[in-house]
Each structure stands twice: as C-alpha cells, then as structure tokens.
A and B are shown apart, each in its own frame.
Chain A
C-alpha cells in the first residue's frame, strides 16, 4: 500500500518531465517515421525533426500552422501549440507524395 502510494507520487512528479521531452521525428528517403505522432490535447509539445536526407525539407501543415525548413542532414525543433482533440495532417512540402504524417491530439 505504502509502496504503491510512493510509486504513484513518483509517477505524478515524473509525468510532466515525460510530457516535456521532445518527440523524435525522422525523415528518411522522403518519408516520416513515425508517420503518426500522438500528443496530449490542450498542451503544447515539441517535435525534433531529424532530416536524414541530403536535401532540405519543409515541415508544412496549415492545420498545425507550421512551416519549418530543416536543411539536409540537420535537425530542427518544431513547436506544436496546445491542440484541441483531433487529427492534424502535416507533410514535407518538397516531397508531398511520400512525406506525409498526422499528429493526433487526445
């Protein structure tokens, strides 16, 4: 009983730190991995996009209101604002046939 309370307390303390850690998003061969990103609704989040392709890509989403260029073989931070529950599409503007993904806020 006592132990589980302590565990619960540790979880409560640890939870915000987990929420604040950036979500890793990799672009390779003009495809996003993972292509489905889950975030908590009504809470901002950070995505670190690692571009493993040799050429630049623009993370583009009118639904997320973001346009961010990440140069080839570089990474960039993408700020996701607090979202209402729902599904938000994003794409790599320069290779929109393959570079597609969604952010799901729940």
Chain B
C-alpha cells in the first residue's frame, strides 16, 4: 500500500528544493569539488530543517510571535545576497569559465571561489522545504497507526520522484552548449533571486513589518493556480504567484535591476582594465 497524500507532499517539497540544487549544479558544471560543497549545503539544510521543525514553537514565539516570518524573510534575503554575489562574480569570470569548460579536461578551476555562496543557497532551499517535510512526517509518526508503513513507502516514492524530476531539469540544462551554459544559468539565478526577494517581502508583510502597497495587482489563478504542480514549479523557478501585490512586484523588479546593474558595472570595470593593459 502507498499513501498518496504523503507521496504528494514529499514530492512537492523535494522538487522545490531539487530545482534549486539542479540549477546550482548546472551553474557549477566542471568546477572541481562542487559535489562536496553541494553535499555540504544539502547536509546542512537537512540538519537545519530538523532543528527548525523541533523548535518550531520556540521559533514562532520570538519577536512578539513573528519569529517564523522574520526567520523565513532573513534566510531568503541571505540566499538573494549569495545569488547576487555569484552572478556579479560570474559577470567578471564567466567568459574565463566558459573557456575552461570548452577546453580539454573540462576543469573550471575559476569557479571554485563561488562554491561557498552557492552551498549557502542550497542549504537555505533544503532547510525551508525540508522543515515542512519533517513536521509533516513527524506528525504521522507521532500518531502511529497501521498506515505508517504505507506512508513510509509514499514518502520514499515522493523523494525518488522529486529527485528524478530535478535530475531531468539538471540534464536538460547540461544539453545547453558550453559557451552559452553560464549565460543561461546566470539568467535563471537572477529570476530565482527575484522570486525569493518577493517572497521575503510576503513574509515581512505577514509579520506586520510592511503594511504598504499590499493591494493585489492582478489575479491569474484562472490560468495557473499557486497550488497546482506547474504553479509551484514556476513559483520556485521564477517566483510566480497568482496574485502579486505592488510591494512584491517592486521587490521583484528591484532585485533584477540591482543584479543587472552590478553585473554591468563589473564587466565595464573589467573592460576598462583590459584596455589599460593594452595601452
């Protein structure tokens, strides 16, 4: 017997974290030791998820009952900062990395310096989705009952299915030619960060820290609902929500603008340096 409710909830959360892991793996193609860093991020995320789940009540009680919202907003903004750092760094070294990737051996040594930042992003993603899985599964175990075995099977299958879909995304990204790969992952990371910034704003609103511009701008639930699998995937990938408000849209746009501006600035600086050397 398989419990489909468990399968679905585990699948959903695993796929959300898995998409981010897939993008990070694609963005670090050929970089030595990246497996170790990504594993560290996943391991740290799982440990963090267990801690957050175990102390859910204590966490929520902090900051006049807004601990959960502040915590979620903080780790999301931390991930946005790390993704920005990665992309700005890539703007300076992306060409070099693409050259290394195309060269014999495919060793992208230059990429090692950005691994720690991306490990943090993986850790945050696994922590956020993982703590929900832990709370849900703990609830099942605590209730006991004969269906525990069916739920375990459902959980394992959900994990496998989620990991499988994430792997498909990863291999799909790898099909991109080496010269273009880092450009594509750079864009994906920009949209990932924008979506996370908008969600951080939502948590700050729900904690009562932002009270302006909270009217919905549009409602596209008829086209793509937040609760559908496609809606969730697009939410993770590009921050899709069925009814964004002005504050969220501003955070989304500002993150993209900030990231592009910083990337341009760094490439312009590099170009100026190259010219100086030529003179």
A contact residues vs B (CB 8 Å cutoff)? 54-58, 62-63, 65-66, 68-72, 74, 76-79, 81-82, 93-97
Contact = CB atoms under 8 A, between A and B. Distances in A.
Contact of B65 (A56, A72, A76): A76
B142 A54 contact: yes
Given A55-B139, A56-B135, A62-B225, A71 B56 contact: yes
A29 to B, nearest CB: 11
Residue from the set A62, A78, A82 with the largest chain B CB neighbour count within 10 Å: A62
A63 B214 CA distance: 14
Interface residues on B, range: 20 to 34
Interface of B: 5, 9, 53, 56-57, 60-61, 65-66, 68-69, 132, 135-136, 138-139, 142-143, 202, 205-208, 214-215, 221, 225-227, 241-243
B135 A69 contact: yes
Given A55-B139, A94-B136, A62 B60 contact: no
A70 B67 CA distance: 12
B48 to A, nearest CB: 15
Nearest to A97: B5
Contact of A71 (B60, B206, B208): B60
Contacts of A78: 206
- 7 tightest Cβ-Cβ pairs between the two chains A and B: A71-B57, A55-B139, A62-B226, A71-B56, A56-B135, A74-B57, A94-B136
A70 B208 CA distance: 17
Nearest to B135: A56
A57 B60 CA distance: 13
A58 B215 CA distance: 24
